[in-house]
A and B are shown apart, each in its own frame.
Chain A
């Protein structure tokens, strides 16, 4: 069968049934836990994950956890509450801002930003962004820092390697701190910590080691983002959650996942990733998607590079030799 965008279509009823059965088997029999803790951000992935957990275990055995911090969008909490109202879940809200402050997350990040933008300070917002042109020119993934002052002024500068590493390392404290808090709840309840990564994130490495990837299972981990949206509609999730633009909700300035990591809209990324994963030759993928073969080749090379540089995050810690059992 020729490759087209329709190749990603799923039978939502069948997929839901499979995921729910897998959740029950994994949580109850593999992990021997009584329920699920799900960190809900108000985004589509955690919303679908929570809805599937409710269908698998019942709302009485699902703890929905919102863990906002200083830079979190207020809409995120509002959408998380809307979702929980819809699923008949009690939402437990615990701010991790003080913990991050104590760990120096914000101060370390801000010092690194000021190395590129000296006037960055109180009242400013920032984010890391990638340039455009992956398909058109194959431009390399070189981050810039964009800061917005309280008076509306915007500055964007290329960030040095040291500053980039410092910003990322400081910011990753957020995901790792959330992991710590989620496991407190999971272990106190004898529940599994269920993650919400989708296939794009898992395969391409849009995750933080021992942060948001620090979970017991990922029921939607093999579903492309567009398929997650299909499931969301099938599950009857609130429209406002299904139609919002995916954000990283990581930096103080609003940032889409496209501009931070994926460099392509999901409507283009998903079929390209599907084609690459299923060894569809670039010319055939190009024809099926109305793109240039050169652009598809550039995307394929980007996928290879991302997978290779993040492979360690999908593996267990390295050992010297192999254990006997």
Chain B
């Protein structure tokens, strides 16, 4: 599953009017770069939930999880990974 590629395609289509840009690096802050605002965050959350089957909890709605392609990829992988076995 190419999470980063899927997310990039969504971002380009939804916020960059279909025009990918070399400025959109994997570590580009989507908020700081002005690519998204608070409504954009809602769109990203809805996309992740429908595309990857994850549920984004309120306490997980932080920049460390959602503010760049790399952050989103790491977050989705964590959500999709099975929980560690209890000791």
Contacts and interface: CB of A to CB of B under 8 A. Distances in A.
A141 B41 contact: yes
A158 B45 CA distance: 11
Contacts of B38: 140-143, 305, 309
A301 to B, nearest CB: 7
B45 A142 contact: yes
Interface string B62-74: 1110110000000
Given A301-B32, A308-B34, A309-B38, A161 B43 contact: yes
Contacts of A78: none
Nearest to A298: B63
A138 B67 CA distance: 11
Contacts of A142: 38, 41-42, 45, 58, 61
A140 B32 contact: no
B39 interface: yes
Contacts of B66: 140
B31 interface: yes
16 contacts: A131-B58, A137-B59, A139-B62, A140-B66, A141-B38, A142-B42, A143-B38, A144-B58, A160-B42, A161-B39, A165-B39, A301-B63, A304-B32, A305-B37, A305-B38, A309-B38
Interface of A: 131, 133, 137-144, 158-161, 164-165, 301, 304-305, 308-309
Contact of A305 (B31, B42, B45, B61): B31
Nearest to B43: A161
Given A142-B58, A142-B61, 16 more contacts: A131-B61, A138-B62, A139-B59, A140-B38, A140-B63, A140-B66, A142-B38, A143-B38, A161-B46, A164-B42, A301-B31, A304-B32, A305-B31, A305-B37, A308-B34, A309-B37
